[in-house]
Structure 1
Amino acid sequence: MTQLPPRPADDSERALGFARATMTRWLSPSLLFATAVRVGISAVLGSYADKREEMAALPAAPPADLSDGTEPPGYAEAPDGGELWFDYVSDLGDGFDATYAMASLLATPSLDLAGTTTPRGRMLVMGGDQCYPTPSITGYENKLIGPYRAALPRTCPDPAGAPRLFVLPGNHDWYDGLTAFMRVFCQGSSIGGWRTEQTRSYFAVQLPHRWWLLGIDIQFDSYIDDPQRRYFIEIAAQMRPGDAVILCSAKPSWLSAADGDAEAYAVLDYFERTIIRKVGAQVRVSLTGDRHHYARYSECARDSERARYTEVGGAAQKFTAGGGGAYLSATHRLPQRLVLPPAASRAPGKSDPPAHYELASSTFPDAQTSRRLAAGIVGLPAFAPGLIALLGGVHLLLALAIGGAGGTTGRGAVGRLDAIAAGLRHAGVPGLFEGLVNSVPGLALSLGVMGAGVALTKAGRTARGGVAGVAHGLTQLVLAVAVIAGAVAVASPLPGTWLLAGVLPLVVAVGGLAATEVLAAYLWLADRIAGLNTNELFAAQGIADYKNFLRLRIGPDGQLTIYPVGVRAVPKRWRFAPDAAAGAPWFTPIDRPLEAFLIESPITITRAAPDQPPDCLGPPGAREGA
């Protein structure tokens, strides 16, 4: 019999077996560089060494069977006659406070949600991005396994008695080609009190009353590899006409399609059309994360402006629920309507006519709160202090390049410094601007600043993105000249080369701080005016609050009910409890209670879709904040 580890005696890293991580600082220069390298490696691995192809050598696990509604052997609760509860959480492996808070709620035996007692799920689905910013065995241990083990310690030596865990990889899990993901989640191990069963990065679960849950790995929306396609064809062969599918993927491709990537939805459309609908089944619910908020889109009839429909027995639903622990994403830029697949898609055989979806009124956070939180970017220097040093260094190089362009070339290092000091002292503001283009270093740095401004928009190839990027780059250059001119004026009493001793530190400190605030202002204005860089605007702040997960129930009547669970504020201080019972959480909150609530009323979905989707809500933009 497996020996269970003892409860830790103290909260040191050595005793806990993991480090309590802080939130990822997404605009940290070192992190940006390291992540860029991993992204490049991942792109190569995805093209030339796709781990999904290698998985074909592993035996494919048959679909987990939870269809009879009875508890698995050794499970503590009694059979419930065809009722099944399970949970969905995504984007969870980041700072300890948010990740552990959500793990604690998922581990709690039951939650009272608006007067309804909802038991902990017999199955937990993790929807992607289990480790930020890049995956490793140590990263998974510190940011996922450790917090979940602390929230639900394993108390039963027999893993058959534990609730089941199924995990999809997101793009951050893919950054090492799924190497760490496969070792952590595909070898029958335990994550705290949950046990893994899958052998590949995708899975299938047979649920009660002819419901199915399918988790597909489509790796950056690129394609479905042939072994995975054949696996799901075999699963679909077990379905009957009229069966209903809950489809999990790691990215809301429907939003990417609305953002201008016409082919983003093509893979999901292909999967649904050629595998699910081909056997007479229907995708009734789509679940995903990647965007770290809660939002729901409901299928509706085309070109109708009648009243809102009832949620009971409604048409297909698409949920984004990426609130498991990562930084908060905005909701105020979500499109009001979706047409899937979009008319611009050139995918052969795409679904025709397309389906129309409407954004539900209850997002979390709501649009007004999302806009208010956006203004917090003013604290960017505190969120990413490394930017001050980086941008201050750019100002330093600009000062040296400008001074060198305006001074007479001297001999030796001292002579060159004398020339730079003289160039800065006598340039004047017009001369400082001339120095940006009158030397090769100045021109190269200026073009680099402009190029970085355009690249930051991630839409530089469009007119809107190009204008925004050029405007930001020019503003940074004007700021640099202003800071250099001010520093020269302050240090002008210093003689000769000593001028640099006064100018250069001021340029680095003041210029770095001012440039960081200009970047913050750009991010806010780009989102506010042009809808650009909204993700960067929120990622830079690392907001740990406004978290969410989904609790799902298939009732004895065969209806699926989804409870969207939200947490407005995450505790930031925890008390270690070494003397609590063996199965009790290791930490309890000190500064505030961990309070869960229903984001919106439970959404009930029948297995059979209605003949006609419900009516849409009216013309686009009808919802406040759209």
Structure 2
Amino acid sequence: MTTTADPPQPDDAGAPETDPPAPPAGAEDPATSFTRQRATRWLEPHLLLRMSLRAVVSAILGEYNDKRELMGEIEADGFLDLSTPDGDLWIDYVADLGDGFAATYAVATLLSRPELEVAPQGGTTHSTRQGRLLVLGGDECYPAAHVDEYENRLVGPYRAALPRKDPDAPCLQAVPGNHDWYDGLTAFMRTFCQGRWIGGWRSRQARSYFATKLSAGWWLWGVDIQFDTYLDEAQLSYFRRIAEELRPGDAVLLCTGKPSWVAATDDDVEAYATLDFFEREVIHPRHARVRLALTGDRHHYSRYGASDGAQKITAGGGGAFLSATHHLPETIHVPPPRSRARSKSRSTTYQRCDVYPEAGDSRRLSRGILRLPFATPTFAALLGGVYALLTLAVGAALRDPAHGLVEDVHAMAAALRGADVGRLAGGLADSVAAFLLCAVVIGGAVAFTRDASRRRGRITGLVHGLLHLTLLIVVIRGATWLTAGMPGTWSLALVVPLVFAVGGILAAELVALYLLVVDRLFGINSNELFAGQAIPDRRNFLRLRLQPDGTLTVYPIGVRRVPRDWDLRPGWVPGDRERFAPVDGIVAPFLIEEPIPIPRTAPGTAA
């Protein structure tokens, strides 16, 4: 086992054999090296289609072209050694970044600063220092991994925040999340596994997983769990070799791509099985323990603590849309007693200690989904188009037999004008076209529902779909009433656009109401409820301090509001930090809660 500050790079990735020299400070203006991006609008139709296709393709790629197996051929069995003689070490952690410029850059500016003075509300001010290592905890790029997306959504903003490439620059390591896996890790490997600079941070890993030796008996391990499936044999072999360096009483800070401890409590009882296996088979035999687990994936801050001081923290506030906190469980048990894994560790209870945003604030913010028709007009246009097609199909089904295009138009207009609610409802099933479109509406509503209970999910989705068909009938009746005095051709020519425009807005509002209601009643579709808003506020990241006595202290840092408008900083010269300055406010960091001290060993345990 070798110890290295810069693991060898993969031969097949085209990495140089020696470290490339750092370009001189100010060699290029970071403002011109990328294109600022708006936050991802997850309910835009083209993105819904593209991400659905990518999810299917990436699942196939992940199964048949798992690049982690190829990484096993890379000669990089060493680990990064950041241990210091005095045992004092700072580390930064951020996850779920690389989305809209405003939120991503706001967090990057804070990470770029050598010192931050932060305090909780009404509490004592604490001084924190920039970490010698920045850990990216997953989902480094949205909506899906691509070299250009990494450049514009992550590398560019971080370069603008910290353009300098100093000889003593902090290191950077990253674990992939599900969005990084959508291209089979190709862009991730190019960005993070070739020793490249991410702004003023130098990447130091050769694979999608890594190990770093810290001070005072602590280690940092980053594991790649792909789509929360399994740990490949090459990765297990790597960590088994690293585990030989562990000493009894050592502590591991484990970084993973998903809060499987919460998922195991919510709906997937076996979600924690992979991590439990990893701890039980790789770490515990060396008489070491995971004392802190960090993850992102859910775009909020939450902390769960065990009675022995071990902590599990989700800190996914690096730039992606805000996630809800008002449905997080009070208590989790990992591995869950209900798990049917043949071998599992004894279950440990963790209590919820703090969340950000606060649960009440999370509920209040959820009401912003009611602006959906105007925040994402393309989604309203999609639904309006479906409503318009259904209107034409119903008119065709109800019209009297006629010959010729003009006669058909008159017949359809007359049929729509003369039909009562019952006939309109019958018209939805009286033609193949209308029936198929109704099936698409109901099927889409059922598929849109995210519920661990399949039966409740199907019923909820069915009700949602039927409400859309009911709303369609109401909109058709209203449109025909407004155009009642017009000739048939003009009547139909106005009814369809009215259904498209008014129906689209009302249909999108119905989806918003559905999301709000089912979140409140059943705690389902919460992700879609917040994804549809793309809230850039309530950011978070972590600063961690490792002290000589083996205590690791976590400083959870939050930002309540992110400025929306940024302009070039006046007086900036090459080599300065923070190329952009906020126009409509400031980035004001604060401590989400008091610092959390984590001893290397549990109380009463021999060090």
TM-score class normalised by the smaller sequence:
over 0.9
- Establish whether residue 341 from structure 1 lines up as the match of residue 342 from structure 2: no
Contact residue 450 and residue 469 of structure 1 kept, 8 A: yes
In structure 2, the partner of 1:98 is 103
- Establish whether residue 605 from structure 1 lines up as the match of residue 605 from structure 2: no
- Establish whether residue 514 from structure 1 lines up as the match of residue 506 from structure 2: yes
In structure 1, the partner of 2:371 is 379
Letter in 2 for 1:174: W
In structure 1, the partner of 2:159 is 149
Shift of 1:4: 2.7
TM alignment of 1:383-532, pairs within 5 A: 383-459=375-451, 462-532=454-524
- Establish whether residue 590 from structure 1 lines up as the match of residue 583 from structure 2: yes
Change in 2 beyond 3 A, CA 1:530/1:461: closer
Contact residue 331 and residue 352 of structure 2 kept, 8 A: yes
Distance in 2, matches of 1:207 and 1:7, equals 33
TM alignment of 1:497-576, pairs within 5 A: 497-576=489-568
Contact residue 460 and residue 466 of structure 1 kept, 8 A: no
- How far does the alpha carbon of each residue in 1:453-482 deviate from its partner, in whole angstroms, 9 at most, with x for none? 111112286232222211111111100000
SS in 2 for 1:331: coil
**What TM-score results when the alignment is normalised by the length of structure 2?**
0.93
SS in 2 for 1:342: coil
SS in 1 for 2:350: strand
Letter in 1 for 2:502: V
Distance in 1, matches of 2:532 and 2:490, equals 38
For 1:246, which of 249, 253, 259 is the aligned residue? 253
- Establish whether residue 4 from structure 1 lines up as the match of residue 17 from structure 2: no
In structure 1, the partner of 2:16 is none
Shift of 1:184: 0.6
Contact residue 527 and residue 534 of structure 1 kept, 8 A: yes
In structure 2, the partner of 1:178 is 185
Shift of 1:383: 2.1
Change in 2 beyond 3 A, CA 1:5/1:417: farther
In structure 2, the partner of 1:25 is 41
Distance in 1, matches of 2:178 and 2:564, equals 28
In structure 2, the partner of 1:325 is 319
Letter in 1 for 2:169: A
- Establish whether residue 45 from structure 1 lines up as the match of residue 61 from structure 2: yes
Letter in 2 for 1:326: A
- How far does the alpha carbon of each residue in 1:233-266 deviate from its partner, in whole angstroms, 9 at most, with x for none? 0011110111100000010001111112111110
Distance in 2, matches of 1:317 and 1:112, equals 24
SS in 2 for 1:175: coil
- Establish whether residue 140 from structure 1 lines up as the match of residue 150 from structure 2: yes
- Establish whether residue 290 from structure 1 lines up as the match of residue 297 from structure 2: yes
For 1:208, which of 202, 209, 215 is the aligned residue? 215
In structure 2, the partner of 1:75 is none
TM alignment of 1:77-96, pairs within 5 A: 81-96=86-101
Letter in 2 for 1:588: A
Distance in 1, matches of 2:569 and 2:468, equals 51
Distance in 1, matches of 2:148 and 2:305, equals 40
- How far does the alpha carbon of each residue in 1:507-564 deviate from its partner, in whole angstroms, 9 at most, with x for none? 0000000000011000000101111101110110000000000100001211100000
In structure 2, the partner of 1:164 is 171
- Counting aligned pairs with the same residue, the percent is 52
Distance in 2, matches of 1:499 and 1:577, equals 57
**After alignment, is 105-114 or 343-352 more displaced?**
343-352
- How far does the alpha carbon of each residue in 1:85-112 deviate from its partner, in whole angstroms, 9 at most, with x for none? 0100000100001100000000001001
Distance in 2, matches of 1:438 and 1:406, equals 8
Letter in 2 for 1:265: Y
Shift of 1:6: 3.2
**After alignment, is 366-375 or 603-612 more displaced?**
603-612
Shift of 1:162: 1.2
- Establish whether residue 223 from structure 1 lines up as the match of residue 234 from structure 2: no
Distance in 2, matches of 1:460 and 1:363, equals 23
Letter in 2 for 1:359: R
Distance in 1, matches of 2:571 and 2:485, equals 67
Shift of 1:588: 1.8
Distance in 2, matches of 1:496 and 1:383, equals 35
**After alignment, is 463-472 or 322-331 more displaced?**
463-472
SS in 1 for 2:333: strand
Change in 2 beyond 3 A, CA 1:552/1:406: same
Distance in 2, matches of 1:271 and 1:10, equals 41
Shift of 1:2: 4.5
In structure 2, the partner of 1:125 is 135
Contact residue 10 and residue 578 of structure 1 kept, 8 A: no
**What TM-score results when the alignment is normalised by the length of structure 1?**
0.90
Distance in 2, matches of 1:155 and 1:297, equals 37
Shift of 1:410: 3.2
Change in 2 beyond 3 A, CA 1:61/1:460: closer
Contact residue 67 and residue 210 of structure 1 kept, 8 A: no
Give the aligned CA root-mean-square deviation in angstroms: 1.5
Change in 2 beyond 3 A, CA 1:470/1:596: same
In structure 1, the partner of 2:9 is none
Shift of 1:344: 2.2
Contact residue 26 and residue 163 of structure 2 kept, 8 A: no
Shift of 1:420: 2.1
- Establish whether residue 35 from structure 1 lines up as the match of residue 35 from structure 2: no
Contact residue 30 and residue 159 of structure 2 kept, 8 A: no
Letter in 2 for 1:601: E
Distance in 2, matches of 1:128 and 1:419, equals 58
Change in 2 beyond 3 A, CA 1:178/1:409: farther
- Establish whether residue 109 from structure 1 lines up as the match of residue 109 from structure 2: no
Letter in 1 for 2:594: S
Distance in 1, matches of 2:453 and 2:218, equals 44
**Consecutive unaligned residues in structure 1, runs of 5 or more:** 70-80, 301-313, 613-626
Letter in 1 for 2:383: L
Contact residue 155 and residue 583 of structure 1 kept, 8 A: no
In structure 1, the partner of 2:82 is 66
Count of residues in correspondence between the two structures:
579
Contact residue 8 and residue 578 of structure 1 kept, 8 A: no
Moved >4 Å (runs of 4+): 7-11
**After alignment, is 519-528 or 589-598 more displaced?**
589-598
Distance in 1, matches of 2:547 and 2:23, equals 37
In structure 1, the partner of 2:122 is none
**Consecutive unaligned residues in structure 2, runs of 5 or more:** 1-20, 120-124
Letter in 2 for 1:427: A
SS in 2 for 1:174: coil
Change in 2 beyond 3 A, CA 1:518/1:152: same
**After alignment, is 320-329 or 400-409 more displaced?**
400-409
